[in-house]
Amino acid sequence: MTIHDYHQVMSAVGIAELKAKLSQHLRTVRQGHTVTVMDRDQPIANIVPHQPDESFRVRKPAPDAPALHDIPLPEPLDLDIDIVDLLLAERQIDR
C-alpha cells in the first residue's frame, strides 16, 4: 500500500514483505521516503531516512586495541539456576 501526499510518499509494508524485499524498501528510504511497518494492519514502526548529525558516529578501534578473538572469555558463572528456564520465564512476561 502506498499513500501519496503533496510532499512525500509513505509506503506501508507487512513484516513478511519487509523481510522478503528489505533492499528494495531501504532504497525507498534512501530516496527520502518513509516506510511504515505493519503487523496485522497495525503500524508498529517507521523506517525513516537518516538525518546526519554529530550524535551518531562510527568509531574505529584504537590502533593498539587487541583483536576480538584475542580477548579471553570470562569464566562461566557457577549458578544453581537453569539459564534456559530463566530465559523462557522472561519471554513469557511480554505475552
Interval 6-41: pLDDT, tens = 445 568 999 999 999 999 999 999 999 999 999 999
Percent of the chain beyond pLDDT 70?
A: 86
Output 53 or 4, whichever has higher pLDDT.
Answer: 53
CA dist 88 to 14, 26, 76, 85, Å?
A: 27, 33, 20, 5
pLDDT over threshold 70, residue 48: yes
Alpha carbon 37 to its chain's center: 12
pLDDT over threshold 70, residue 94: no
Under 8 Å between Cβ of 33 and 57: no
Residue with cell 496485522: 40
Given this model, what pLDDT does residue 36 score?
A: 96
Q: What is the CATH code for 2-47?
A: 3.40.1620
